[in-house]
Amino acid sequence: MALRHTEFTEAGAFVVAIDVDFPGQHAAMIEKLNLPFPMLSDPNRSLAITPYGVADEYDRRNIAVPTTVVVGADGSEVWRRVSRDSPDRPVEDEALEVVRGLSLDPVQQPPRRRGTPEPGKYAMPFRELRSYYRGAKFAALAMGRRYPEATDDSKVYAALMDRYMADVTTMYRIIREKGDPPEPSR
């Protein structure tokens, strides 16, 4: 959603991410990926993740299932897309179509507040993301060949990894053009 953020605000949407990481980890992710929207912290999943019914009960990391929720101007839920698992990510086109259908006035997203970046011990440096996604793509395709019943899912996941690699390339170009190269370390 970062690369299409302007489309969302022009359609009248404020974009906010919510996950289980702590604010310092969010600050590190926002800085690393140059995100134009805030990330809110729900480390024990009690504020939004469990009430929205998107806690991933099968993942021992105590995370949420990737979900996109569109909330209308009156505060009511208008649309939701809950993924099956972490690799099954929502596609921005679906949410953007719903938001545009609400016929809202364009909005200005308030500037994000800078926090103190504190990357988690497993945080991946920006410069390694493309290689990571490339490896994930080829592992998924190999699993699809090994397990024919998973071929369709492996192709969908591989296409998602292609999209992520393209997004990282675009983000890197944008960051370089701003004269703010991605971080050299974790």
Nearest in space to 15 (alpha carbons), one of 30, 32, 1: 1
For 169-182, the pLDDT digits (tens) are 998 888 788 776 55
Which of 105, 18, 11 has the alpha carbon at shortest distance from 63? 18
| Three-class SS state of 129 | helix
Residue 32 has pLDDT above 80, yes or no: yes
Q: What is the pLDDT at residue 1? A: 84
Contact (CB, 8 A) for 1 and 167: no
Q: Per-residue pLDDT averaged across 54-71, rounded? A: 86
Share of the chain above pLDDT 70, in %: 95
Task: Tell me the C-alpha distance between 180 and 186, whole Å.
Answer: 16
For residue 18, what are the β-bridge partners? 40
Percentage with pLDDT > 90 across the chain: 40
Return mean pLDDT, the chain. Answer: 87
The predicted pLDDT at position 172 comes to: 86
What are the tens digits of pLDDT across the range 68-123? 899 888 888 899 998 887 677 767 899 999 999 999 999 998 887 778 889 888 88
Would you say residue 186 has pLDDT above 50? Answer: no
Q: Is 181 helix (H, G, I), strand (E, B) or coil?
A: coil
Judged on CB neighbours under 10 Å (0-12, 13-18, 19+), 149 is exposed
The pairing of beta strand 39-41 with beta strand 17-19? parallel
pLDDT at 63 over 70: yes
